[in-house]
C-alpha cells in the first residue's frame, strides 16, 4: 500500500476533481445536459404510461 491509499476515504470526497475554473464550467455543462436528458426521459415515461393505460 502506498501512503496515499492509507488516507481516510472521507477526505477524498471533500476534494473535488473539478477544482479549476475550467473544470467547473465543464461540470456545470455536464449537469445541464444530464438535467435535460432526465427531463426528456420523464416526458417519455409519462407519455408511455398514459399510452399503455396506467
- pTM, two decimal places: 0.55
Q: What is the pLDDT of residues 1-48, one digit of tens each?
A: 455 555 555 544 455 555 566 778 889 999 999 999 999 999 999 999
Phi and psi at residue 5, in whole multiples of 5°? Answer: -75, -15
Q: What domain range is 25 assigned to?
A: 18-54
Please state, as a whole number, how many other Cβ atoms lie within 10 Å of the Cβ of residue 21: 8
pLDDT at 23: 74
CA distance 44 to 37: 11
Any domain includes 5? no
pLDDT at 30: 95
Among candidate residues 14, 36, 35, 18, the one with its CA nearest the CA of residue 26:
18
Q: How many domains does the chain have?
A: 1
Any domain includes 24? yes
Cell of 40: 426528456
Residue 50 confidence class, pLDDT cut points 50, 70, 90: very high
Mean of pLDDT values over 46-51: 96
Amino acid at each position: 500500500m502506498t501512503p496515499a491509499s492509507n488516507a481516510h476515504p472521507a477526505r477524498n470526497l471533500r476534494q473535488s476533481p473539478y477544482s479549476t475554473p475550467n473544470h467547473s464550467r465543464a461540470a456545470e455543462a455536464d449537469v445541464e445536459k444530464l438535467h435535460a436528458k432526465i427531463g426528456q426521459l420523464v416526458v417519455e415515461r409519462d407519455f408511455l404510461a398514459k399510452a399503455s393505460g396506467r
